[in-house]
Structure 1
Amino acid sequence: MSAPSNPESVPSGPLTGRRILVVEDEYFLADDLQRHFVSLGAEIIGPVAYLDDAAEVLKADAPIDVALLDINVRSEMVFPLARLLRSRNVPFVFTTGYDKKSLGSEFMDVQVWEKPLDLPRLARSLTALMAGH
């Protein structure tokens, strides 16, 4: 697990001051997500490639504005982490290669972004999600 990005070196942008938890086990996608959101001013928590590490972040009560959750992380489903985020009133979206039907009824209200991701559209969506939360 990497440390949060240094907010002093973050450029100003539409996500300035926002802390985004990224749970993604695909290295290159995690790196792309981090680079893109940092370029928009966000502080990234992670990227986290293990669900146990993500749970530790939540146990530490790190402030989180929004989370991006890969549905399947190292062959584990991310739903227990999603439930924790929901219980803390932290908005989140799923990123996945699965379709929305695989979520079941519990998470049908959560946005699902299919891979490959359109990062500019995803950033706009996250901004709107946080504004409406």
Structure 2
Amino acid sequence: MVDINLGAGPSFKLAEALKDGGISFVFVTGYDEEVIPPEFEQVARLQKPIQLRQIISEVAKLAGSSE
């Protein structure tokens, strides 16, 4: 789970490092879809505020994709 606002506005450095390392992740953000760069269009995005069941569902999908 990666929040793109880790300081002063959106940042994608952590997402880039995860992608480069082949590590699956989900964006958790209050920003609109348009803020996320095209290279991350396949990454799931949960819009804040989120519910626990949404987090569980996305984590389960990621766990299933790594088998």
Tell me, yes or no, whether TM beats 0.5. yes
Matching residue of 1:71: 4
Kindly provide the amino acid, as one letter, of the partner of residue 36 in structure 2: L
Which residue, 46, 61, 67 being the options, matches 1:128? 61
Aligned-pair Cα RMSD in Å? 1.3
Tell me which of the two structures has the higher relative contact order, counting C-alpha pairs closer than 8 angstroms and 6 or more residues apart: 2
How many residues align structurally?
66
State which structure, 1 or 2, has the greater radius of gyration over its C-alpha atoms: 1
Is the contact between residue 71 and residue 94 of structure 1 (CA under 8 Å) also seen in structure 2?
A: yes
Q: What is the match of residue 94 of structure 1?
A: 27
Paired AA for residue 118 in structure 1: Q
TM-score, L = length of structure 1: 0.46
Identity of aligned residues (%): 32
Spell out structure 1 runs of 4+ moving beyond 2 A: none
Q: TM-score, normalised by structure 2?
A: 0.84
Show structure 2 runs of 5+ residues with no match.
none
